[in-house]
Structure 1
Amino acid sequence: MVTQALFDVDEPPLPEALQEAVRHGEVFTRRWIVELILDLVGYTADRDLAVLRLVEPACGEGAFLGPIVERLSKSCRAHGRSLSEAVGSMRALDLLDENVKRSRTLVRDRLTADGWEHREVDAVVRGWVRQGDYLLAAHSAGDADFVVGNPPYIRLEDVPDERMMAYRSACPTMGGRADVYVGFYEVGLRSLKPGGKLGFICADRWMRNQYGRRLRQRVTQRYSMDLVIVMHDVDAFHDQVAAYPAITIIRNGVQGPAIAADTTREFGQSEARDLLRWTADPAQKAVTATAFKASRLPHWFPGEDSWPSASPARLAVLEELSDRFRLLEDETTGTRIGIGVATGADKVFITDRPDLVEQDRMLPLAMVRDTTTGRLDWGGMYLVNPWNATGGLVDLAAYPRLRAYFVQHGAALRKRHVAVKQPERWYKTIDKVDPRLNARPKLLLPDMKQVIHPVLDEGGLYPHHNLYFIVSDTWDLRVLGGLLLSNVAEAFVAAYAVKMRGGTLRFQAQYLRKIRVPDPAEIDEETSTALTAAFERRDVRAATQAALRAYGLEELPD
């Protein structure tokens, strides 16, 4: 791993490819956003800032440095300190020499205009602002009270290979096709003192995408996510960029209460002051204004899985339900979620001819189109089933018609990845057929739909791979179907699921497993009857009203 002494000497010139990537990744923050972040982390001039340490890991042309230096200067005056006493209180770094020069000039001009002597100014400016690579510098763990800034947005594949490998070695959270900003979070968090705070405005994709998994795990295990302000439509930067920005405040400490806020394009400097005042009053649990909404949560969402995305009020409800109720998939109730059979060659394995091969090799198959009306209307499709009742592949010698059919389509079957890996099992489907599943009652849910759409199969059909299924040893599936038909269940999926064009949701197992449900034994008879009736009538409104009673809620906020 490439390392260097932090802030001792400037780095040698960077490779041109990296310089170009850094320039491309620069997004400069508006001053009022900077002021909001500094206020949120507590970097205010009424504190003795000279005895605290702030780090700005990618200072650019000084968007953060200007307000930081002004506050530090004012604090020194207020606390009777010389500027030289603050020489170790602030460190800013940037990869580009031209940015370092501009930032030093900015700092020098601000301090001189504030009346500090040139000798004192010259003594601190060069020490405060240095050239270097924040991700590869040698850092002392736990020496920063504040880490603030707007990390560069650079995809790892745009970084020269040697430096990319060094980044991955230095920052284990940078998995997959991560953006460089993930490493800035990791290094910044590592450098915080106990109680220290990191305040970034940065793309929020890491909270939901696969490449952010390791960073989410690190945050939930070691830090406290104190505040998230989603600012997707806010004019937060000097240039127009599609960055999906959010302000995040993360503290080095045990997870405590958290604030979730969302903003509209009307959110500006005045509204930022209003939101800041609200955050300072813990007695106010929620606020709704024209330009923003915010709610206080008992804690942030745990785990490394994708964090939910919804209105602050809805996030608060989902968190409450997550604290009070068990997951839908649960051993206690024998409830399991799965997906139907994938074949890798549907044109071969799926047919509408019931006599194509031996009768006991023809498995009635439920397709997505069979669920359209909300009731299962089987369209007469079959799976040509190569699996026996014990979960093994059948002996083709015992099924001459099946063997002849597979041999006829052998070229298509053998070129599948699953067959290339296991050539002796060339006629298997990708997924093994569970011989018990087709006989069991189950709820079926299409993968892609604008609304949640549970449909009951009384038994007799096996689901195709575009259908997810739910089976249970305990639940009356009509009661459970009513719960799943409701807006409450859909809210869980919508908060976590990938949203497709046109508002279509993915009802995949990983998102269905986020749904929380009451104990079926604790749902009273009247509510159970109402859920069943709503499910059978496909009445979403009635299902939602009954579900709210089952969950003990008065309403589900938008």
Structure 2
Amino acid sequence: EALDEPEEGWTVALLNDRGERKATGSYYTPDYVVKYIVEATVGPLLHEAVEGARSDDERVEGVLALNVLDPSMGSGHFLVEVTEGIARFLVEMGVAPDELSADGEAELAYWKRRVAQSCVYGVDANPLAVDLAKLSLWLATVAKDRPLSFLDHHLRTGNSLVGARIAEIQPGGGKKQKKAKADDGAQLSMLEDDAFLRSVSNAVGSIWLIEESPAETLEEVREQERLYTRLREGLTRRYARLADLATATNFGVDVDRSLWKPLTDYAAGRAPYAPPQFALWLEESETLAAEKHFFHWELEFPEVFFDRQGRPLGHDAGFDAVVGNPPYVRQESLGDFKPYLAEAYPEVYHGVADLYVYFYEQGLRQLRRGGWMSYIVTNKWLRAGYGEPLRGYFASEGVLEEIVDFGHAPIFEDADVFPCIVLLRKLGREESDQDRGVRVVEFPREALNADIAAYVEENAHTVPKKRFGKSAWSLETSAVDDLMEKIRQNGVPLAEFAGVKPLYGIKTGLNEAFLIDTLTKERLVREDPRSAEVIKPYLRGQDIKRWSPEWRGLWMIFARRGIDVDAFPAIKRHLEQFRERLEPKPKDWSGGRWPGRKPGPYKWYEIQDSVDYWQMFEQPKIVYQVIQFHPQYGLDMSGVLSNDKTFFVPAHDGWLLAVLNSPLIWWHNWRYLGHMKDEALNPAGWRIEKLPIALPTDEARGEAEEAVGRLISRTRSGQEARRDTLNWLRVEFGIEKPGQKLEDFAALGPDAFVEEVRKRRPRGEGRLTPGTLRDLKSGYAEMAEPVRQARTEAANLERRLSDLVNDAYGLTDEDVDLLWKTAPPRMPRLA
């Protein structure tokens, strides 16, 4: 039974095991993103294809001549959208195909089939993905009483990044070979080989016959299959042996260069006999080709790179558009692949670049001059050091048109990868884009349901082309960039201002052994009073509060390097129960998974990190979190330790604390610090030590020091009130888990407070009596009102501090207005 054609087309998602998807970096791209990318890249090409055409036939020919590639096609989502978009364009042109038969096949269905076999190209290293892409396109092009389209000629299995270029087929063909002087007979120029050119000419002719056939009958589809089989035998398989051999030399197949000419003659079938070593080299290369999915673009898609006579197309060679969502594979997983990437992609290679970087260079390579490309990838390369070569490559080879930065918006399910869409063209002949601007928009998560094109049109701003060179790219408006520069210019690096650098909290290597509660601490001290000498109070990241941290009664066994553990028998007995998991891994360990800690020069009973600066913890210090959701810097005067979820600056400086907690610095840091999952900031030590701190006047410092002191006092009073209230609720009402609302009880009204107490009381406690309700409301009023008054005072103090900080950086009223108009999430509000 025939399938009814869906109104909006079909797509099959590649939903295999989630672990495999994560391992391969595959994420299903949402439909609205795919539609936007395809429209942005293919749309201009469609209008260009029909411009100047004098007849319907010329317009159709121009459109069907377009070649659109997805080099990591997955299940074919982008290719289906390309097919839908081009087919609808042809229908809207009003061109009725002559081949439409009397049985009434719909125009759209007809054009989808023609477009699918003429215009769309896809490659994927996963054979399953290729099969699913074919299925997606079959479902998208299914038509009543028509056979399924032949798609093998355009959808191929292979690794888009690994293969040989025809002009460079020689041992180790790459940048070294291009620089090397070729010996006589050591280099085969396939482009000058008559047999190769004839094979290419025949192949291109076969592809044209396949694409021009509407394939309305099963016999016509079988004829397409026969043509493609002959093509594969006459070109791809025959010359792929040479290309495989050239590529394999990059993966350890050691070919004697002096034998390259006779070896290639043998591989191409021009020499029937050869030494046994030749067969061995070819066998090794074929094994590697199958294992690593070598893919040689010009042999797989000859019609894209050669004309009907087998001659290279020169600047016109390549695809008209490249689209897709390259795999999200981190550089740590590339391993032995990196030497090949360094050789094959010298323009963009960086030792810590992720895989998508190389898809960018490959995509631009496979474009014709003037062609369009757009991927959705992470935005990290826009600013990261490893993105510098790629940014420079784009600046020299591409014409940036548009950047849509989604930041933390959840485009992909279960993956906060900071996606962005970059739209660019390959630089055309004699084209210069030095005076062009780049359209830029930052797309917030709350706008995700909006139409991307409409949002971009309404909210995009233009950034001068000159700002997109090798250096980190800013997507901000010129006004914001100017303000960032003013802040930088009016401050000195924090390390210079404070005379110290930020230091990291203590990483124990096994928190279960070294981090204990008060009951365990008291037991160990009872067993041996000397235990108190090495048990120290410590702060967690979650204990860091704005202005003043709050210790939660937790302790660390600070068994630092060099401790005589036998002098502390109770501590030793406690740690002994974790000994297997505490042992450092031997450097020569080869017995599988090690149950203990990582290798290092520490004893089993010592904390993992040396913490040579441990005495700095005893000084007054400004502490802050490793993962920042809010600007929370606090002054600790008690000398407590802190764990590895904290940083600290050994300084007792109220002005510095005021600057770090200011709206201005949070605004700056949102644009300066690295971003983490869920919109958190990463205040890495090397970044914070360079943070620009403005030098205050003596008057401003004095006023700030007084205000900060009062804020610390009010904060500690509020923390004490919270502890007293929660303790009262625990003792009188049995509430062990108060929840966020009771933690912030002063923000509740009396009725809401009572209702929350009702919810949090243990089950079976019975109803609250009228007398108890009166006591609850009375107690609430007594405790909440002072906290509210303190918060009002704190808000006034923070407003004044913010003004002092803004003045110190030289901000004008217009600068302050811009600061708040472009405020990032969780900017400290001063109301």
* Matched position secondary structure for 1:69: helix
| Matched-pair contact (CA < 8 Å) for 2:403–2:441 | yes
Deviations 1:402-446 (A, max 9, x none): 255224422314413746435971112122222341244321013
Match of 1:292 in 2: 459
CA distance in structure 2 between the aligned counterparts of 1:182 and 1:481, rounded to whole angstroms:
40
Q: Equivalent residues in 2 for 1:107-118 (5 A)?
A: none
Q: Which moved more, 1:523-532 or 1:434-443?
A: 523-532
- 1:376 and 1:28 map into 2 onto residues whose CA distance is 46
- Equivalent position of 1:218 in the other structure: 389
Q: Which has the higher contact order (CA 8 A, sep 6+)?
A: 1
Aligned match of 1:528: 701
> 1:444-481 deviations in whole A, cap 9, x for unaligned?
01345642111123473332323211246xxx721111
Q: Confirm whether residue 550 of structure 1 aligns to residue 808 of structure 2.
A: yes
Query: For 1:142 and 1:537, how far apart are their aligned partners in 2?
Result: 70
CA drift at 1:176: 9.5
Shift of 1:372: 3.9
Determine which of 516, 526, 549 is the counterpart of 2:691. Answer: 516
Distance in 2 between residues matched to 1:491 and 1:440, nearest whole Å: 29
Classify 1:247/1:403 alpha carbon distance in 2 versus 1 (closer, same or farther; 3 Å). Answer: same
**Residue 52 of structure 2 corresponds to residue 71 of structure 1:** no
1:93 maps to which residue? 69
Corresponding position: 1:342 with 2:342 = no
| Percent identity between the two aligned chains | 15
Query: Given the two structures, how large is their TM-score scaled by the length of structure 2?
Result: 0.43
In the alignment, which residue of structure 2 is the partner of 1:58?
Answer: none
Identify the match of residue 248 of structure 1 among 422, 426, 443.
Answer: 422
Say which of 348, 352, 357 aligns to 2:530.
357
1:491 aligns with 2:656: no
- Give the counterpart of 1:260 among 421, 440, 443: 440
Tell me if the contact between 1:69 and 1:107 (Cα under 8 Å) persists in the aligned partners: no
Conservation of the 8 A alpha-carbon contact between 1:25 and 1:153: no
Is the contact between residue 493 and residue 515 of structure 1 (CA under 8 Å) also seen in structure 2?
no
Among residues 604, 607, 619, which one is paired with 1:429 in the alignment?
607
**One-letter code of the match for 1:72?**
A
The Cα offsets for residues 10-58 of structure 1, whole Å up to 9 and x where unpaired, read as xxxxx999xx9999957666898469735xxxxxxxxxxxxxxxxxxxx
The residue identity in structure 2 corresponding to 1:220 is: R
Distance 1:107 1:242, change over 3 A: farther
Aligned to 2:253: none
Query: For the Cα contact (< 8 Å) 2:407–2:418, is it kept in 1?
Result: yes
* 1:33–1:449 distance in 2 versus 1, CA, 3 Å: closer
Flag structure 2 segments of 5+ consecutive residues without an equivalent.
Answer: 1-13, 100-114, 122-153, 162-294, 299-304, 306-313, 428-432, 586-595, 712-796, 824-831
Q: Distance in 1 between matches of 2:542 and 2:38?
A: 54
Q: Which moved more, 1:83-92 or 1:363-372?
A: 83-92
* Other structure's SS at 1:247 match: strand
More helix by share: 2
Give the conservation status (yes or no) of the 8 Å contact 2:338–2:351.
no
Letter in structure 2 aligned against 1:488: L
Please state whether the residue corresponding to 1:428 is helix, strand or coil.
coil
Partner of 1:461: 640
**For 1:477 and 1:255, how far apart are their aligned partners in 2?**
48
Aligned counterpart, 1:187: 362
Q: 1:506 to 1:67 in 2, by over 3 A?
A: closer
Query: Shift in Å at residue 69 of structure 1?
Result: 2.9
Aligned in 2, Cα 1:152/1:457: closer, same or farther, shift over 3 Å?
closer
RMSD between superposed Cα atoms in Å: 6.0
TM-score of the aligned structures, taking structure 1 as reference length: 0.60
Q: Which residue of the partner structure matches residue 393 of structure 1?
A: 562
Give the deviation of 1:393 after TM superposition.
1.9
Instruction: Give CA-to-partner distance per residue, 1:47-92, whole Å, 9 cap, x none.
Output: xxxxxxxxxxxxxxxxx3x6523322215569xxx88998999543
- The alpha-carbon deviation at position 482 of structure 1 amounts to 0.7
Q: Confirm whether residue 200 of structure 1 aligns to residue 366 of structure 2.
A: no
- What is the count of residue pairs matched by the alignment? 465
**Which residue matches 1:288?**
none
CA contact (8 A) 2:488 2:692 kept: no
Aligned pairs for 1:123-202 within 5 A: 131=154, 135=161, 136-138=295-297, 148-152=321-325, 183-190=358-365, 199-200=373-374, 202=376
Q: Which has the larger radius of gyration?
A: 2
Query: Paired residue for 2:40?
Result: 37
Partner Cα distance (2:452, 2:552) in 1: 59
TM-superposed CA distance for 1:218, in Å, is 3.4
Contiguous gaps of at least 5 residues in structure 1: 1-14, 39-63, 119-123, 277-290
Question: Aligned-pair distance for 1:541?
Answer: 3.0
Verify the 8 A CA contact 1:371 1:377 in the aligned structure 2: yes
Paired residues of 2:656 and 2:693 also in contact (CA < 8 A): no
1:104·1:125 contact (CA, 8 Å) conserved in 2?
Answer: no
Kindly indicate whether the alpha-carbon contact (under 8 Å) linking 2:628 and 2:682 is maintained by their aligned counterparts in 1: yes
Does the Cα contact within 8 Å between 1:318 and 1:492 map onto a contact in 2? Answer: no
Give the alignment partner of residue 444 of structure 1, picking from 623, 626, 646.
623
Could you tell me how far 1:486 is from its partner in structure 2?
0.7
Measure the CA separation in 1 of the matches of 2:86 and 2:547. Answer: 68
Q: Distance in 2 between matches of 1:74 and 1:462?
A: 71
Query: Per the alignment, do residues 456 and 197 of structure 1 end up closer, same or farther by CA in structure 2, a change over 3 Å counting?
Result: farther
Contact 1:478 1:536 in 2 (8 A): yes
Relative to structure 1, the CA distance from residue 150 to residue 138 in structure 2 (aligned partners, 3 Å threshold; closer, same or farther) is closer
